[in-house]
């Protein structure tokens, strides 16, 4: 498909009306060392808090682009209205992005309208297993970074979001999949893999975020392994159209002595 045809296709997909409503919930990403909220991830929910699956099952290929754009707009609008003062992380489907520059137009417009700084936007790449064109994905990441956004690779360490993608892609952040995080405090094999990722992150210039942290023991071990950025039910569940309370109490409970914030 030529450039003009892709742009025309892009415009046609912009005009599609979604046949369903949805809402956004926000879950904090915690910086354990600094005892503060580092960012929030925007997560799709039904209008009354129903599961993400209840919404996503209604999104077919025809609606994918329109839904992706609507999620961006709604997440930025709600984050601004709630007074969010830290970066906002928004999931996106790479296969919904036809022309990176054209697909950014709605994001740039709503950011200008509500006064949201572009440097406080992070885009999380999800469903990498559905990406068949790595060159296209690399072009998306390059375009987003040139626009001033940061890019995260979700579910890293399992499936297709694995080490080989880093030979071609250059994300700013890697979110370690919960399958590697669950029970990491007592599993030597998981510990070895997570420590290897931590050692690799610095030379590659990426920041690690541990997903799916559900217990104090996991959170404590991860921090001591050099991964202070963490997200999961231990700290806070996603809140529908609301922001989390300070994580200081949950962090204090991890350590019997004052935390070294260095």
The answer to whether the beta carbons of residues 35 and 247 sit under 8 Å apart is yes
Domains of the chain: 3-252 (3.20.20.450)
This prediction's pTM: 0.89
Three-state DSSP state, 172: coil
pLDDT digits (tens, 9 = 90+) for 97-107: 767 777 788 89
What average pLDDT does this structure show over 227-254? Answer: 95
Rounded CA separation 141/149 (Å): 9
Coil, strand or helix at 26: strand
* Strand 239-240, strand 36-45: pairing: unpaired
Best mean pLDDT range from 15-29, 52-66, 165-179, 213-227: 213-227
């Amino acid at each position: 498909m030529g450039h003009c045809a892709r742009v025309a296709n892009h415009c046609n997909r912009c005009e599609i009306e979604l046949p369903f409503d949805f809402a956004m919930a926000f879950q904090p990403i915690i910086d354990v060392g600094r005892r503060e909220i580092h960012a929030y991830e925007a997560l799709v929910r039904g209008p009354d808090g129903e599961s993400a699956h209840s919404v996503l099952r209604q999104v077919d290929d025809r609606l994918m682009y329109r839904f992706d754009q609507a999620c961006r707009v709604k997440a930025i609008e709600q984050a601004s209205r709630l007074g969010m003062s830290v970066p906002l992380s928004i999931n996106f489907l790479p296969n919904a992005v036809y022309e990176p520059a054209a697909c950014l137009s709605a994001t740039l417009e709503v950011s200008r309208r509500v006064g949201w700084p572009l440097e406080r936007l992070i885009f999380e790449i999800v469903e990498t297993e559905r990406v068949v064109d790595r060159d296209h994905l690399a072009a998306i990441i390059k375009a987003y970074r040139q626009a001033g956004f940061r890019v995260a690779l979700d579910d890293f360490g399992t499936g297709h979001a694995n080490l080989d993608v880093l030979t071609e892609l250059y994300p700013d952040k890697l979110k370690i999949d919960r399958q590697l995080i669950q029970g990491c405090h007592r599993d030597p094999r998981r510990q070895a893999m997570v420590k290897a990722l931590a050692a690799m992150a610095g030379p590659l210039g990426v920041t690690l975020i541990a997903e799916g942290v559900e217990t104090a023991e996991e959170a404590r071990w991860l921090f001591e392994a050099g991964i202070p950025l963490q997200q999961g039910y231990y700290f806070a569940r996603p809140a529908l159209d609301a922001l989390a309370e300070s994580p200081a109490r949950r962090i204090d409970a991890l350590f019997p002595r004052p935390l070294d914030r260095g």
